[in-house]
Chains A and B, each alone.
Chain A
Amino acid sequence: MLRVALGRIAALIPLLIVASFAAFLLLQLTSTDPATVRLGDTATDEAYAAFRHDIGVDRPVLVQYGSWLAGAVRGDLGVSWTSSTPVTELLATRLPVTLSITVGALVVGLVIGIPAGIAAGIRAGRSTDSLMTGGASLGQAVPSFWLALMLVAYVAMKTPLFPATGYVSIGDGGVGDWLRSIALPSFALGAAAAGAFARQTRAGYVRVLHEPYIRTAVAGGLDRRRILWRTALRNAAVPVVTTVAGQAAVLVGGAVIIEQVFALPGLGQLVLNAIRNGDMPIVLGFVAMMALLMALIQFLLDLAYALVDPRVRAA
């Protein structure tokens, strides 16, 4: 198990370096000049040059990336061009919001999607299956931010149960208020994931039921319930675990959009403002953090995968 973990970490490090370097190069393409972002249009050329020298953008690109990377491994992602606040600090204050609704959406997706997929998979070809599969397709086709708008218009404004806007942290309002503030965003974001999980789970079951060892189990006299829940479930779960990583990427991206509907002060709001202001260090830090987050999720899933499928451990 430890070997699996160390091996995965070793593979993720070059991945993160490539991702951050690609993002770094990409943002070099911008025509935005940090000096005008900070000093406006009216400063002297000397002042502009001095500022550029101060933040180091007059150095060669590779040197700039090297010093950015050297800072990044220590958790220092540079400073914002507009406010001189450390980017890490800006991201850190916003991350809990985005993470809350992403994890919330993942929970919604798994809690709805997996049972629905099992229900469809064990009754494949029947009406339950058609209903579930149709529902899953619809769930995947509904844009999350539109579902969010609908929830605001027809749920939040009709009942006082869920707030239409704003975020309450656990520290400020306790677990109850926190949950209420992320419930609708999580549901809006998680509906599509539920559809994806349901389809994966169903496909997993249908595939596993065609494996010869199911016939062995039937021949052994195991009853239907035991075959479905013991023999088939674990085998069917393997591809679902791999889907979670892909879905997590979609959900984190979607969270950025959903935040706009519910006016949540998350990373989405931060990065949209940064784009409007041409504040590239924030954008770069955001991309790098997302890549790190994805790598972390991938890492945890690889471990989960090794737990579900012992063949991976042995390999």
Chain B
Amino acid sequence: MRSSVVVKIAWAVLAVVLFLAVFGPWITPYDPTKGSIGSALASPGADHWLGTDYLGRDTLSRLIDGARVSTIAGLEATVVAVVIGGGLGMTIGLFGGWPDRIMMRIVEGISAIPAIVLAIAIIAALGTGLSRSMFAVGIAFAMSMARLARGLTMSERERLYVDGARVVGAGRRRLLWRHIAPNIAAPMGVEATLIFAHAVAIEAALSFLGLGTQPPAASWGVMLSSAQRTIRQDPFQAIPPGVALVLTILALNIVGDALVRRRRGVGLDNPTGYLEPVGVTPAPPASAATDGGTEPGEASLLDARGITVRYGDAVAVNGVDLQLNHGEVLALVGESGSGKTSVAMALADLLTLPASSAADRIRLGGDVPLDLVGADRATRAAWRSRVGVVFQEPSAALNPLQTVGRQLRDVIVAQRELADKGRTGRDPAGRLPIDDEIIALLGSVGLRNPEDVARLRPGQISGGMAQRVMIALALAKSPSLLIADEPTTALDVTVQAEIIALLRRLCDEREFGVLLVTHDLGVAGELADRVVVMLRGDVVESGSIEDVVRDPQHAYTSALVSAVPRNEPGRAILAEPETAAEVEALELVEEQGEPIR
């Protein structure tokens, strides 16, 4: 809200500059180019509001006249840059091929010369003066404009509808103007605003150097040049043109930035990204009675009731209950958008703005039970160290610039520090040296050469290896609850089977409970003891995996069951769809788009 006020002020400043540029000649109190030596270097007063310069010319009048010069200068340079650079860029972008390669080489070569140096060289060739110098500035900026327009044209050209237009028989020129130009006008307009701002600054600089506007004409740069002559006697004369420049350029930049933001639709509803999880607040008493009839039994590991997750005002998860025992694998199944990942992240205490979550109770059992709802920082840190998370898309979830070993080491060190503070309830005794623990962890997830893998960065290993590393990172915390969010989705089928086998082995070896989040009932059938099916934020069905798969109660579950491919190994548990209800449910799935890949 505050920034929109700033943008409005910026537009107002530009309106004033434009007004002065157009109506200046009628409102200047004195002739901006004539003065009387008798009143030279007058201080600001009733006669001369902003004083006079060393030739006795009225500073306010020259300032107003300078607005016109700056506007013309900015316009000329921008028009030259847009017409020459934009035209060139669009043309070579449309034609491609060797003209594109040659022109781009030339553009890149000329871009190697700093803009103001190029402008100075052009002025050296063509001579000084406002319009020639602004032509020079326009040419200098045309290079960046050409690159931008070329890139935009090429990507627009690739779009389907342009191909459609070509099939219809539109000529290249018509294609350019009717289809491409309107679509790239907006980003080029934003760039033009920024060029305008640069041009105003460079006009002032070149005029200050004596290469742009020539005295006695008034330009803010010329005014600064004459103020420099008398800077010792009357430094004030340098202030009005400088402030005018700063305000104009600042206003142009603010307007340009606002246009960029509007185009990209950048919202700052979560400025700190994943850094600061929001935690879980106690649910208001009214929402406590959302239980859909199934009576939750005593759960030894995780007991979560009434989890609600909102993104702003939109409810993603609407009062979900989950119970999980030690040694048990619970699958949370649903299509994307069903809220299953939101539940998982709430349980891992990793939800970030704009999400918010509330629950009646989220308790982790064990020797030292923990409550997440309304927990303080220390408790939340302890909670996170007991909940291991395997994220979807392992290659994005690993830091691309650090080696695997480094990332594991950071987690191990962090966990040991937490344990030393007595936060995790874990005994510091019996620790391996860190290097040995890294190797042991990588070995335990089935990586064959752990020493070598530890030295590699995520970009150097395959997706399946990255997922194993991800699992090792989760295991580094010795979690009592492992949350695996779509652990196989980003992997191809053979690697999926390996990761499923690994997770199954880990379930057998370790005493933790697993919450498996997946859209794939086939994966759930491979691993899970029990399954919970979610649809649009609600639990629609839950029970043992055999019961749910053999005899689905809800039409949506039936649809999920029938959507599982049956000819893959290890999925014999799932039967062919037979009943009319299942066929109907399949259609339901199709109507909802493609929930199942």
Contact = CB atoms under 8 A, between A and B. Distances in A.
B400 A314 contact: no
Given A222-B410, A227-B275, A19 B112 contact: yes
B545 interface: no
B250 A220 contact: no
A105 B176 CA distance: 44
B268 A290 contact: no
Contacts of B399: 213, 216-217, 231, 235
B398 A216 contact: yes
A272 to B, nearest CB: 6
B414 A223 contact: yes
Nearest to A138: B250
B28 interface: no
B459 A314 contact: yes
A291 B112 contact: yes
A130 B268 CA distance: 12
A143 B219 CA distance: 14
Interface string B256-287: 01000000000010111111010000000000
Highest count of chain A CB atoms <10 Å: which of B2, B115, B231, B271: B271
Given A124-B271, A153-B235, A217-B399, A260 B348 contact: no
Interface in B91-109: 105-106, 108-109
Interface stretch (B203-211, B363-371, B522-530, B559-567): B203-211
A284 B124 CA distance: 10
B460 interface: yes
Interface string A233-269: 0110000000000000110111011001100000010
Most chain B beta carbons < 10 A, residue from A145, A208, A230, A295: A145
A219 B109 contact: no
A146 B224 contact: yes
B393 interface: yes
Contact of B117 (A29, A143, A211, A287): A287
A211 B121 contact: no
Nearest to A274: B124
Contact of B210 (A208, A212, A224, A272): A272
A286 B114 CA distance: 11
Given A18-B106, A18-B110, A125-B268, A145 B126 contact: no
Chain A CB within 10 A, most for which of B110, B210, B277: B110
B105 A221 contact: no
A214 B120 contact: no
B202 to A, nearest CB: 9
Contacts of B123: 275
**Which size class do B's interface residues fall under?**
35 or more
Contact of B414 (A222, A228, A253): A222
Nearest to B201: A143
A310 B455 CA distance: 13
Interface in A20-34: 21-23, 26-31
Given A125-B268, A260-B208, A212 B274 contact: yes
Interface stretch (A9-17, A67-75, A89-97, A106-114): A9-17
Given A221-B415, A249-B114, A271-B120, A149 B391 contact: no
A194 interface: no
Interface string B143-177: 00000000000000000000000000000000000
B246 A142 contact: yes
B249 A143 contact: yes
Contacts of A43: none
A27 B121 contact: yes
Interface string B5-18: 00000000000000
Nearest to B269: A125
A167 B111 CA distance: 31
Contact of B253 (A22, A140, A218, A280): A140
Contact of B125 (A27, A146, A154, A272): A27
A16 B250 contact: no
Of the candidates B227, B228, B388, B460, the one having the most CB atoms from chain A within 10 angstroms of its own CB is B228
B102 to A, nearest CB: 10
Contact of A15 (B109, B209, B352): B109
A252 B112 CA distance: 12
A26 B126 CA distance: 9
B408 to A, nearest CB: 9
Interface string B233-254: 0010011011001100110011
A250 to B, nearest CB: 7
B268 A124 contact: yes
A209 B274 contact: yes
19 contacts: A19-B109, A19-B112, A22-B109, A124-B268, A124-B271, A143-B246, A146-B224, A146-B245, A153-B235, A216-B391, A218-B274, A226-B414, A230-B410, A231-B410, A234-B401, A252-B114, A254-B205, A275-B211, A310-B457
Interface of A: 14-19, 21-23, 26-31, 122, 124-126, 129-130, 137-138, 140-143, 145-146, 149-150, 152-154, 157, 206, 208-224, 226-228, 230-231, 234-235, 249-250, 252-254, 256-257, 260-261, 268, 271-272, 274-275, 280, 283-284, 286-287, 290-291, 294-295, 308-311, 314
Given A29-B125, A146-B246, A210-B273, 13 more contacts: A19-B112, A22-B113, A140-B253, A141-B197, A153-B238, A208-B273, A209-B273, A210-B274, A213-B399, A216-B470, A218-B384, A230-B410, A253-B114
